[in-house]
Amino acid sequence: MNFLLFRIDEECFSAALTIRPEVIAFAWPRGGQALKPYIDRAHDAGAKVTFMVSDAAGARAAVEAGADVIVAQGTEGGGHVGWMGSVALTPIVVDAVAPVPVLSAGGIADGRGLAAALALGADGVLLGTRFLASEESSLHENYKKAIVRSDGHDTVLTEIPDIAADMVWPGAMSRAHRNRFIERWAGREWALRQHQSEALAAVQAARRAGDTEEAPLSFGQDAGLIRDILPAGEIVRRIVADAERLLSQGLPRLVR
């Protein structure tokens, strides 16, 4: 169960607690927002708590409030992200909150990314874009194919999707596919604000139709590593097998 703290709905959160999920994931609090009450309620419901951060200060605050696992999300990821890349952010967060477990997120789509995250001190990884291009993903098939077609260079950090949705995320930019919709409003955000309701209606219609050019499509730079649409279980098996092969056979040759 995943909750954005800056826009958390009390009725939804209370309902989620009654289900007693194994894990509740929190992310993106407002500046100065109290974290501990939400984490305590999740623990009282028997859930472990993961907390996604984009800097060391946020990681320390989450741990002080009782988070069980920290997710260090780099700017390479899709959707709403911070400004620091995973390679620097992951060990910074690991050092800041040790011995609390840390997962690395952003830019990871294969066994090489998993092995690299482990080498940086993370205990594991959290994947987003790779699972968007899975058979179980609820994305329109056209969107999945757009991820597979991506070379990893066709994304941009932008506020345009949030302006169209009339939503402000605290301290985040959105990494989205640089498609016709984004290009139309880039540099004309002021005009998009003037026509927000009409733009949102057009976006919603485009999403229903699977139009990958006229609606924001959030995915990470690691889309350039994704070449097929697979079952989620097969994705996990391949990533783990490739990482084990690299760690047990490839890298040891460098230190013999």
CA nearest to 139, candidates 195, 196, 177, 82: 177
Task: Give the tokens for residue 111.
Answer: 């066994």
Which listed residue (43, 80, 153, 177) is catalytic?
A: 80
Q: Looking at the chain, how many residues does it have? A: 256
Task: Give the tokens for residue 74.
Answer: 């780099």
> What is the C-alpha R_g of the chain?
19
CA distance 184 to 79: 19
Question: CA 128 from chain center: how many Å?
Answer: 5
DSSP assignment string, 175-199: EEE--HHHHHHTT-HHHHHHTHHHH
The DSSP letter of residue 240 is: H
CA nearest to 244, candidates 129, 126, 128, 110: 110
Residue 80 is among the residues annotated as catalytic for this protein: yes
DSSP assignment string, 25-68: EEE-PPTT---HHHHHHHHHTT-EEEEEESSHHHHHHHHHTT-S
Question: What positions carry a catalytic annotation?
Answer: 80
